[in-house]
Amino acid sequence: MSPLLEVEDLKVAFTRRGEPDSVAVDGVGFDVQPGEIVGLVGESGCGKSVTSLAIMRLLPERGNRVTGSIRMDGDDLLALSDSAMRERRGKDLSMIFQDPLSSLNPVISVGLQVTEVLTRHRGMKKDAARREAADLLDRVGIPDPRRRLDSYPHQLSGGMRQRALIAIALACTPRLLIADEPTTALDVTIQAQILDLLKQLVAETGTALVMITHDLGVVAGLCDRVNVLYGGRIVERAERHELFRTPRHPYTHGLLGSIPRLDGPPGEELAAIRGSVNDNLPWTDACAFAPRCPRKLDACTAGTPPVTENGRLLRCINPVEAS
Amino acid sequence: MLRFIVRRLIQVVPTLLLLSVLLFAWLRSLPGGPAAALLGDKATPEKIAELNTVLGLDQPIPLQYLRFLGRAITGDFGNSLITGERVTTEIARALPATIELSIAALLIAVLLGIPLGYVAARYRGRPLDTATVIGTLVGVAVPVFFLGYLLKQWFAVDLGWFPPSGRQAVDIDATHVTGFAVLDGLITREFDASWDALIHLVLPAIALATIPLAVIVRITRASVLDVMGSDFVRTANSKGLAPSTVRERHVLRNALLPVSTTIGLQTGLLLAGAVLTEKVFVWGGLGTLLAQAIERRDYPRLQAVVLLGALVYVLVNLLVDLSYAIIDPRVRVR
Amino acid sequence: MTTPRGSLRPRPSTLLKRKKTRIDDLGGRSLTADALVRLRRNPVAIVGAVIIGLFVLISIFAPLIAPHDAGAVFPELQRTLRPDSIPGSMPGFPLGSDQNGRDFFSRLILASRQTLIVGVLATLIGLVFGVVIGALAGAFGGWVDTVLMRVTDVLLSIPSLLLAISIAALAARPSQTTVIIAVALVNVPIFARLLRGAMLAQRDSDHVLAATSLGVKRSAIVVRHMLPNALGPVIVQATLTLATSILDAAALSFLGLGDGDPARAEWGLMLANAQAYLDVRPALAFYPAVAIILVALGFTLLGEAMREAIDPKGRR
């Protein structure tokens, strides 16, 4: 089956006058099959959000440079004109963001924010759009949807706002939905509800989902395949169960190991990955993770580690053994 | 909603009362007291004492204040020391001139300022933006009266494009209906009078508009920049909406909120600017009245005009607050 | 108490001192240092600072720079005055004569002092009284706050120029002192509001709560914990107020509310008196006006740049 989305060697650099470029995404490549749920995992600063914005072409007009290709249906999204891209956004691919309150226009009603997508891409007239919008709000689990159409964002709870945003994103049944940490800003109890909702909806509509998160728990319950990012590159990619059972890259291994377990011995120290995200080496000279890696060899700082692919992707010369 | 309006109106009252107390105290604190001020050069201790009794100044102070308040509410602010006319009459006659000038200046500031601020923000960092920002900084630093004189010198005296002073040419016989020269000409179909009044308006309006224009441009630009970087604009873009939709429904509707507050503020400050501008262009409005009152120490007139200025400012700000409640749904809940 | 990086860092209570040093190790500059770095890089701030620096230097060394006295009338200049011409630069008089036969250049230079004095005094007095009132209102709250703020509101409800006019007009005989007092009084409510706002914003903040719960006296909390955090905005406002004070003082002179003695050298007065000679010798109005504009601009530029610099959000 040919992939829905193919990202190849994507690089995003932020430029500032008088200062050297700051590379946020350093050669990322992955693909998404139709209907698949793919995870993009990493700590803050690893480039996952920037990748998603690059796919949607929502990066600011100036101050950055994007290279590589992002193919959807054979078209390179990066090569499209602005108006052609606008045709696709909201209709073929859409996105939901982290903070539901700030992601909604505070001075217009929620209903209008839903109907405007319908009007724009499905050419619906006002009454039909309102009916459809109420229906959408109902499908995402918002009670009393017809009245809610005229509510303002500040009158809704956090969970309801995120549901509304999901409704907006799925209004035109896009083939790809990108979710950038959709539950991070929500209460824990609501998080589970929203994730279940997402899972259910994308299954119903056949939409592929790219799930961006730093939370491995979210990944475990949701994704089919997982990409682990570090320092702007993908360091490991595997199918979900394989990744959790046998994490091979020391970073992934460290992430999984740092999750505290209820059944561990009491008084056990938390296993943290030593150092911080800022202790980086550039990928061009070495393995970026080397300064923090417990399995570091001299060869790790000698040059860029090669990538191996055999069903799963791995960027490491001294990975954890597959048991 | 109605409760909100009523509540805000009630809040204004103590401010106005306090203002009147301060104004009263101010007048009483003049060296020699108001009697001395009224008598001017002819003040002698006996005459002052006489006048004090006549004016009721030997009554207990609270009683004086109440009488003052009573008269003030009915619009009696006494008589001008210069012309002897009732102050309220003078003000009523001069008011339309200042209002006309203020409206003209406000129109210039808003109609030019908001688009300019938006464009500057939209093309941020490019030459137009830089020039605009510099312009706003300089605009606020230029003394209004100097700018007025400059405009007068260059465009009226040197180039002769516009008249240097006054509201209407001496030889045009215009019929007064409302006191608004341009409007009157249109009503009575004396179009040449209207046109003449318009030409007279140009230079003073530009001078008066400079500071509000600079401030409005600056606030609009900052507000638009702020909103353009916000998350919901990003959401709007992610929906693939047409740029005009994003601009009008999402960016501007939010960006113009603080701008409207600024417009209100600047309107209230126009009277202060008018004082200076009217002096330069001999406009004959409230500002001219005030300038004269200052020069000749005409306290009754001074007091009334200042009170009026403050009143206008307070009311305009109230209007702005109320309009906020209409525009911004978040405010209504409170 | 050791404060490793500058004294404007928000201060947690003294008793948390030990923990603080550990956090220091993780790096990061204090707010002042951060702001100064941003300022140094900002071209707007540099331009403003340069202008102000020049202005201050000129006013300090004015008597040395100016070749003549401000009020001195020179017969040789008077002789050259005509109804339609006033001479420009002549030997010994770099900028020629003013309308009364005085040395224009000297008057221009010496006037900088007047302007600086008026601006600084009006701002300083306004600042001191305003800060005290605002701090009291914010610290005590309750009816003290309400009363003080009502009065402040009323003062703020009058456009500043009108207020200044009203106050200045009180004086039987106008003078520079009147102008300074009038403008200072206009500035007081601005600082009072600012301080009160800063106090209120901090009243419920964690570091104040921590100090209170540890039994620190209220006066100590206000002085040692809350005031230093309000310092930044006050400095910014003071800089901007210097600009407006200079402009307001010039306006008052223009309206005839300052010391009207034409022998006195003060830019606002010089500008006002030169209006009548605009077609004879426009330079007489131009130079003082440009001087006022430049100085006001300098303070405004620096003040705005400082405001951006201390904004902790640090957005560009």
Strands A64-72, A225-230: pairing is unpaired
Summary mean pLDDT of chain A: 89
Query: Is the CB of B238 less than 8 angstroms away from the CB of A58?
Result: yes
* pLDDT number for residue B37: 59
- The percent of residues in chain B predicted with pLDDT above 90, rounded, is 16
Q: How many CA atoms lie within 13 A of B301 on its CB side?
A: 28
pLDDT at B127 over 80: yes
* pLDDT number for residue B156: 82
Q: What's the average model confidence in pLDDT over B189-216? A: 87
pLDDT tens digit at each of 316 positions of chain C: 443 443 444 444 433 333 333 344 434 556 667 677 777 777 888 888 899 999 999 888 888 888 887 777 877 777 777 777 777 777 777 787 777 878 888 888 888 888 889 999 999 999 999 988 888 887 777 788 888 887 787 777 777 777 787 777 766 677 888 889 889 988 998 898 888 888 777 777 788 888 888 888 877 777 777 777 777 788 888 988 999 899 888 888 887 777 777 778 888 888 888 877 877 888 888 888 899 999 998 998 888 888 877 765 544 3
Query: Is the CB of B333 less than 8 angstroms away from the CB of A116?
Result: no
Q: Enumerate the residues of chain B whose CB falls inside 8 A of the CB of residue C272.
A: 145
- Number of residues that this document lists for chain C: 316
Contact present, B260 and B323 (Cβ < 8 Å)? yes
Q: Enumerate the residues of chain A whose CB falls inside 8 A of the CB of residue B241.
A: 86, 90, 116-117, 120
CB nearest C157 (choices: B29, B146, B313):
B313
Query: Is the CB of B294 less than 8 angstroms away from the CB of C158?
Result: no
Q: Enumerate the residues of chain A whose CB falls inside 8 A of the CB of residue B236.
A: 105
Contact present, B197 and B170 (Cβ < 8 Å)? no
Band (pLDDT 50/70/90 cuts) for residue B132 is very high
Query: Is the CB of C162 less than 8 angstroms away from the CB of B271?
Result: yes
Q: Chains that contact C by 3+ CB pairs under 8 Å? A: B
User: Nearest 5 degrees, angle CA A196-CA A202-CA A207?
Assistant: 155
Q: Chains that contact B by 3+ CB pairs under 8 Å? A: A, C
Query: Is the CB of C285 less than 8 angstroms away from the CB of B146?
Result: yes
The listed range with the strongest mean pLDDT (A157-171, B48-62, B125-139, C222-236) is A157-171
Q: Model-level pTM?
A: 0.80
pLDDT at B39 over 70: no
Which of A105, A120, A136, A161 to probe the B interface (max B CBs under 10 A)?
A105
Q: Enumerate the residues of chain B whose CB falls inside 8 A of the CB of residue C169.
A: 294, 297, 299, 302
Band (pLDDT 50/70/90 cuts) for residue B54 is low
For tokens 């706003």, the residue is B136
Q: Which residues contact B12 (CB under 8 A, 6 or more apart)?
A: B314, B315, B318
pLDDT in tens, A54-88: 999 999 888 889 999 999 988 899 999 999 999 99
Q: Enumerate the residues of chain B whose CB falls inside 8 A of the CB of residue C315.
A: 229
Q: Enumerate the residues of chain B whose CB falls inside 8 A of the CB of residue A85.
A: 240
Specify the higher pLDDT residue, A314 or B30. Answer: A314
- List the structure tokens of C224: 């040692």
ipTM of the shown complex: 0.88
CB nearest B141 (choices: C154, C282, C297):
C297
Q: Which residues contact B186 (CB under 8 A, 6 or more apart)?
A: B194
Instruction: Give B191→chain C minimum CA distance, Å.
Output: 34
* pLDDT number for residue B12: 74
Residue A28's SS3 state is: strand
Distance (Å, whole) CA B51 – CA B71: 18
Contact present, B280 and B149 (Cβ < 8 Å)? yes
Query: Is the CB of B254 less than 8 angstroms away from the CB of A107?
Result: yes
Instruction: Give A120→chain B minimum CA distance, Å.
Output: 7
Instruction: Give A151→chain B minimum CA distance, Å.
Output: 10
Contact present, A75 and A6 (Cβ < 8 Å)? no
